[in-house]
Amino acid sequence: MTELFDLLLKISQEIKTIKTYIEFFRKTRLEKFNEAWIDGQDVMQVMHISKRTLQSLRDSGSLPYSRLNGKFYYKLSDIENMLESNYSNIKSGSHGN
**Above 90 in pLDDT, residue 21?**
no
Query: Is pLDDT larger for residue 33 or for residue 89?
Result: 89
* Per-residue pLDDT band at 95 (split at 50, 70, 90): low
Asked whether 74 and 63 are in contact (CB, 8 A), the reply is yes
**Above 90 in pLDDT, residue 24?**
no
In Å, how far from its chain's centre is CA 18? 25
Share above pLDDT 70 across residues of the chain, in percent, rounded to a whole number = 87
**Above 70 in pLDDT, residue 32?**
no
Mean pLDDT in residue range 42-53: 94
Asked whether 39 and 73 are in contact (CB, 8 A), the reply is yes
Share above pLDDT 90 across residues of the chain, in percent, rounded to a whole number = 49
Degrees, nearest 5: CA angle 62-37-28 = 95
